[in-house]
Structure 1
Amino acid sequence: MTSVSLVLDIGATKIAYGLVPDDSPRDVLHTGRIPTQPADSTAADQVRSALRQATQAAGSATIARVGIGAPGIISAEGTVVHAGDTMPGWAGTDLRALAAEEISAPVAIANDVRAWAYGEHKLGAGTEFPTGRVLYVSLGTGVGGALIEDSALIDGPTGSAGEISELVCADFRGLADRCENIASGNSLARYYQVLSHHPEAGLIPWTAPDPDAIDLRGVMELYSRGDDLAQRIITGNLTGLGRCLGALASGFDLTAIVLGGGVTGIGPAVTEPIEAGVRSAALAPQADLPVKLSTNLNHAPLIAAAALARDHAH
């Protein structure tokens, strides 16, 4: 009988679920998605629903464990102790208790970026670095991070270890703000939205995406056509992020940096300025620090949650 990990990847808009076989840890079976915050339900109820649907999909397979990657700062006990504005009411959710309501199996729960980093380290780019300190940086709708030392996630009393969204970096004009306001996908688009109409504007605060305004895909199309503002924002803001990461490389004597997330998937227009910033800010001993890209594993968040569960479920 097949033994599997039942895994969830919880986001602000959708919950993905699947089953990862123990004998094929890079494959995901019976995947599905449901909305996280529909009008007639709560995120917690949707987690229950995803667990039920995945359990039904397992059929005769043995569910050996459950792995969950979730947004927010997650305590060692599996409770969301802090969450952003995109998921109202999420803070305080006891994910371990939710899982126990639906299935009797050991559970591993982590912040989604920390779960991704663990899986990437065990099965992807991180396999090159079994020892040393590796910083994992995820650029998507937000900015997240995780730190792994000697193949173990660095933890702490609150669960926030590796969180880099609140670090300060410079934008393309030299103005400083939190990294998430400078380099996330939403923020890069927001820069163009504001400065294309108000070039004299100062710092650009984060706001919820405007569905009628240009998004990052549109900004990158302008970038590729030689639009000066788009090129200055993308190159300058991401160089600023890279300089911040370069300082961390020296401060923590890193072995490598691994970049992931949807924004880095755009390609060299994004990744090259980050690497250039790292090189310009790191001290001489870190001048040749490897800056690697996440591997393109299908269903990477689910595979990562399974890797975490196989090693840490209880």
Structure 2
Amino acid sequence: MVRKLIGIDLGGTTTKLAFLTDSGEILDKWAITTDVSANGSKIVPNIIKSITQKMENSDHKIDDFVGIGMGTPGSVDRANGTVVGAYNLNWKTTQNIKDQIEQALGLPFSVDNDANVASLGEYWQGAGSKDSDVVFVTLGTGVGGGVIINGELAHGVNGGAGEIGHITVEPGGFMCTCGKRGCLEQYASATGVVNVAKSLSTEFTGNSRLKEMIINGEEITSKIVFFLADNGDIFANQVVDRVCYFLGLALANVGNTLNPGNIVIGGGVSNAGNTLLQPTTKYFQENAFRPVRDSTKIRLAQLGNDAGVIGAGSLALRNAKN
């Protein structure tokens, strides 16, 4: 009998769920809207209800499953299965997720930070699957990270391992939501790309559609910046180059510290593909120690939106083995 897993990727607007085999194959996947009303008190009951309904409407039975894993924003207490400070979920107080889900579904439950869980997904089935030492960087609304050493997630003494988004790349630079200045997150996330564009636009004097949009107060997104760069906008290319400089610098520092086989870049900004990868790799190589430069590779993630649920399934499997 195939031992099945349940993976949950909890996000601020959408919660993705999947049933998987213990070899990482997705059998069934679906998504529900994350209802953050009433201080996020409906989120976990909605997840339980959705899993229960899915089982009732399919040939999956609770006895087929060995466990449930979940990736979540916020500060995670893995031992107790609680989360606090996930502000995009309205979770300001401690949420006892593990107790609620285990009591309702009767399966062992494990939870970790969403970036860590996505990195487990890429490590298990994606761009990092050939190495036991992998660093995953996710460039989304913010910048997250996960560090896998000898096949195990590194958490650090207070859960702060892998906070690559808060590496300082510009001392005294843009103010970060974390309270300090110059974090990578303010330069290489989706919002960071826009920060860089607006900051550099004051110095640029040539013709540029991107510069015009900024002057006219039109909405700028990282997607627009990369699109215009791909289409020959000189200023947009300068912005992309500056973003990739900061990203390459941060990744070189990560590489010099850990020397992983791969540093895998995922998240929405990574959809820019080679427009992001090539200059980032160039700046990584300029700033990395030679033995690191020659052995650590920068790669794009392969699993896209499935990284979270696959990683959550991996978490469930690891928990079941322990």
Shorter-chain TM-score tier = 0.7 to 0.9
* Separation of aligned partners in 2, 1:300 and 1:100: 24
Q: Read off the aligned partner of 2:318 and give its amino acid letter.
A: D
Q: Are the equivalent residues in 2 in contact too, given 1:26–1:297 (CA < 8 A)?
A: no
The Cα of 1:294 is off from its aligned counterpart by 1.6
Gaps in structure 2 of 5+ consecutive residues = 176-180, 205-217
Q: Deviations over 1:123-176 (max 9, x none)?
A: 22222113xx322111111101111111111123322211112111149x9997
Q: Distance in 2 between matches of 1:19 and 1:285?
A: 41
- Sort the Cα spacing of 1:259 and 1:61 in 2 relative to 1 into closer, same or farther, 3 A: same
Cα contact 1:34–1:50 (8 A) shared by 2: no
SS at match of 1:244: helix
In the alignment, does 2:166 pair up with 1:166?
Answer: yes
Once residues 128 and 88 of structure 2 are traced to their aligned partners in structure 1, the CA distance between those partners, rounded to angstroms, is 30
Q: Is the 8 A contact 2:76 2:84 kept in 1?
A: yes
Match of 1:281 in 2: 287
Say if 1:69 and 1:110, in contact at 8 Å, map to a contact too: yes
Q: Report deviation, 1:248.
A: 2.1
Partner of 1:4: 4
| CA distance in 1: counterparts of 2:146 and 2:121, whole angstroms | 12
The answer for the alignment partner of 2:213 in structure 1 is none
Paired with 1:33 and 1:65, the residues of 2 have a C-alpha distance of 20
Partner residue, 2:208: none
Query: Where does 1:91-130 land on structure 2 (aligned, <5 Å)?
Result: 92-130=94-132
Task: Judge which range, 103-112 or 50-59, deviates more.
Answer: 50-59
Residues 274 and 52 of structure 1, relative CA distance in 2, 3 Å threshold: same
Q: Kindly indicate whether the alpha-carbon contact (under 8 Å) linking 2:174 and 2:183 is maintained by their aligned counterparts in 1.
A: no
Q: Tell me how far 1:300 sits from its aligned partner.
A: 2.4
Change in Cα spacing, 1:54 to 1:300, as seen in structure 2 (3 Å) is: same
Query: Which of 77, 80, 84 pairs up with 2:83?
Result: 80
- Residue 115 of structure 1: how far off its partner (Å): 0.7
Q: 1:308 aligns with which of 305, 309, 315?
A: 315
Q: Alignment length, in residue pairs?
A: 296
1:57 corresponds in structure 2 to 54
CA RMSD across the alignment: 2.8
- Is residue 2:192 matched to residue 1:192? no
TM-score when normalising by structure 2: 0.82
Q: Which amino acid aligns with 1:89?
A: W
Deviation at 1:2, TM superposition (A): 6.4
1: distance between equivalents of 2:29 and 2:137? 29
SS, match of residue 155 in structure 1: coil
Structure 1 pair 92/228, CA: closer, same or farther in 2 (3 Å)?
farther
Deviations 1:213-238 (A, max 9, x none): 22122222222232222211112112
Separation in 1, partners of 2:227, 2:54: 40
- The equivalent of 1:34 in structure 2 is 33
- CA shift at 1:78, angstroms? 2.1
- What's the CA shift for 1:82? 4.2
Report the CA distance shift for 1:157/1:269 in structure 2 as closer, same or farther (over 3 A).
same
What CA distance in whole angstroms lies between the structure 2 residues aligned with 1:21 and 1:56?
19
Tell me: CA distance 1:183–1:298, structure 2 relative to 1, closer, same or farther (3 Å): closer
- Please, which runs of 5 or more residues in structure 1 have no aligned partner? 201-211
Report the CA distance between 1:41 and its aligned residue. Answer: 4.1
Query: Which residue does 1:263 correspond to in 2?
Result: 269
SS of 2:88's partner is: coil
| Cα shift at 1:33 | 1.9
Match of 1:126, SS state, is: coil
1:177 is matched with 182
Which letter maps to 2:94?
G
What amino acid is the match of 1:281? N
**Matches of 2:71 and 2:174 in 1, distance apart?**
35
